[in-house]
Amino acid sequence: MQTSFTASQLADPAIQEANDILRKCVHCGFCTATCPTYVLLGDELDGPRGRIYLIKEMLENDKPASAGVVKHIDRCLTCLSCTTTCPSGVDYMHLVDRGRVHIEKTFRRPWAERLLRAVLAAVLPYPSRFRLALWGAWLARPFRTLMPGRLRGMVEMAPGRITAASSGDRPQVFAAQGPRRKRVALLTGCAQRVLRPAINEATVRVLTRHGCEVVVLGNLGCCGALVHHMGREDETLAVVKANVEAIEREAEAGGLDAVVINASGCGTMVKDYGHILSDDDVWAEPARRTAALARDVSEVMTELGLKDPVPIPWPGGGPRIVAYHSACSMQHGQGLRQEPVALLAQAGIEVREPAEGHLCCGSAGTYNLLQTEIAARLGARKAANLEGLGATVIATGNIGCLVQLAGTTTASVVHTVELLDWATGGPPPDELA
């Protein structure tokens, strides 16, 4: 793709990077076939190629984003299926990130949308605030039919039962069982701690059972993905620097073999810390070290090797069959496709994957709260594909996908690590008990 940035524009490292990315695009259109929004809507501007053109024009002309551009960029799930498909290696993720920063700086959204986005940024990354908000949503459920669309959708997505905070999320060290093989820090996350604290508990059990000393840090917060995907650059940089500092301090004090992450959306973000801070002379190298330590729990368990599984009584007494949903951030963002499937198979579980496994379920961070109609259509499509596999249990490695699917299917939806924990001596997931 030809570009026409000026020399002064190219002096900005962010624009230089965008220029390099744009020039790799050859207009082939392969990406449109695997883009969920293009598949649903059939609009060129709601596919990667169209969005690339919109971002190019916006950045080249250095002009404020228009309402039309914002609509199509907002509809992007950042699922990165296009990146997996692209034969030219176009780095769409970092291009759309740059486009969103420009939108945030130059476009004034309607007041209701500004308020909603500000509330999401101020609440979701903070577990205590999020838990309080869920209680409010629970109390408001009887009146949801009187609410406008997005607010009604948010209230309907709130769980019917709000779990208490887990003691395992407090700062502490969990000793390895037997000889210590690794010392790891666990990113406990933000929304996951409130929506499904059992995932972190299962992660700690399975890691310690396999010889890991697990450190829970009190000063390690939200990964920053939520504000990052909203284009809120200053907030993103502050969060990333705080987390890098916390990891660096712990690595220097006690040594770390890995930062274990059990939400693949967070994993994609933390593995990108080195890029996010690459232009900062002070933080670039520490951020690269933190990114190099980041591992999905399935990667760490693959390295450790799964212990011989114990017999697990499957619900209903039928065969142990799981429909596996590979989160976009797992398969496209991190390139992890075989590790979770292989681990489940080693645990004595038959794994079935849908033909449309590359398409997003519609969760995508806050997407299902901001683009409710498209998200609902994608969720229903994904649920139908998974249910068609003949399994009553669905496994996934990302909390957003788990919540999205749990609201659209009658099957039990669990995290992959909960099954690995159960199969190696832990308790059954609550959904399967």
Can you give the three-state secondary structure of 123-162, one letter per residue?
Answer: HCCCHHHHHHHHHHHHHHHHHHHHCCHHHHHHHHHCCCCC
DSSP 3-state of 394:
strand
Burial class (CB in 10 A: 0-12, 13-18, 19+), 11: exposed
Residue 257, pLDDT score: 98
pLDDT tens, position by position, 37-80: 999 999 999 999 999 999 999 999 999 999 999 999 999 999 99
CATH of 307-432, one of 3.30.470.10, 3.40.50.1860, 3.40.228.10, 3.40.50.970: 3.40.50.1860
pLDDT tens, position by position, 366-396: 999 999 999 999 999 999 999 999 999 999 9
- Whether 246 and 219 have beta carbons less than 8 Å apart is answered as yes
Domain 167-303 identical in fold to domain 307-432: yes
User: What type of residue sits at position 284?
Assistant: A
Tell me which CATH homologous superfamily contains domain 7-106: Alpha-helical ferredoxin (1.10.1060.10)
Fold assignment, 167-303: Rossmann fold (3.40.50)
Which of 182, 168, 170 is CA-nearest to residue 426?
168
For the chain, residues with pLDDT lower than 70 are 141-158, 160
Query: Does the predicted model carry a pTM greater than 0.85?
Result: yes
Which of 119, 139, 116 is CA-nearest to residue 129?
119
H/E stretch holding 182 reads strand 182-187
- Whether 124 and 226 have beta carbons less than 8 Å apart is answered as yes
Residue 318, pLDDT score: 83
User: What type of residue sits at position 184?
Assistant: V
Task: Give the DSSP per-residue string, 405-419.
Answer: HHTT-SSEEEEHHHH
Give backbone dihedrals phi and psi of 326, rounded to 5 degrees, phi first: -85, 110
Domain ranges of the chain: 7-106, 111-157, 167-303, 307-432
Question: d(Cα 329, Cα 122) in Å, to the nearest integer?
Answer: 23
